[in-house]
Amino acid sequence: MARKTSPQPPAAPEKRHYMTPAGYAVLDKELNHLLHTERPKIVEIVAWAAGNGDRSENGDYIYNKKRLREIDRRVRYLTKRLEDTVIVHPDKQQHLDRIFFGAQVTYVREDDSEVTIRLVGEDEADFSAGKINWLSPVGRALMKKQVGDSVIVRTEDKTEEIEILSISYPIENPA
């Protein structure tokens, strides 16, 4: 009698993260600061506090052990994120007449207000600085479009039509 074998589950697709050189530099700088400045300082405080006796009521020990766990968690996250990152140089994109990752786009909304945004990776997004995640509803709607195109943007609340006014790929200096 033939034995049934269960098929292997399909391998999970590789999760790649796209970033601009400046975005990568910011995360790399944070990782280096945590590893070479912040963590050694906290380890020293924990060692000092552990030498003071009863750890169960030692506020310095308890607080700094918690802080050390937070730092280690962030270090693991940043390390993994930076390992899986693809750096996209916006100024080296092809088809500069279309919108791709790293593009700076100016568009007009239905209320005639002009908005200028830059499509960046999810770790770099900062709406107050005009940087939006390229996977956001607006980012997805703009992808591969060109000047003069009208695009329908669907969000949870509403649907809006926007018209693309300009596209550029600014040269970037990593921080």
Q: What is the pLDDT of residue 66?
A: 94
Give CATH 1.10.287.180 domain extents, the chain: 17-87
Three-state SS string over 31-52 comes to HHHHHHHHHHHHHHHHHHHHCC
For domain 17-87, which CATH number applies: 3.30.70.100, 3.30.70.380, 1.10.287.180, 2.40.30.20?
Answer: 1.10.287.180
Q: What is the pLDDT of residue 16?
A: 73
pTM tops 0.85, yes or no: no
Q: Please, is 118 exposed, middle or buried when counting C-beta atoms within 10 Å of its C-beta (0-12, 13-18, 19+)?
A: buried
Q: What is the CATH number of domain 92-168?
A: 3.10.50.30
Residue ranges of the chain whose pLDDT lies below 50: 1-13
Q: What is the pLDDT of residue 32?
A: 96
Q: What is the pLDDT of residue 1?
A: 44
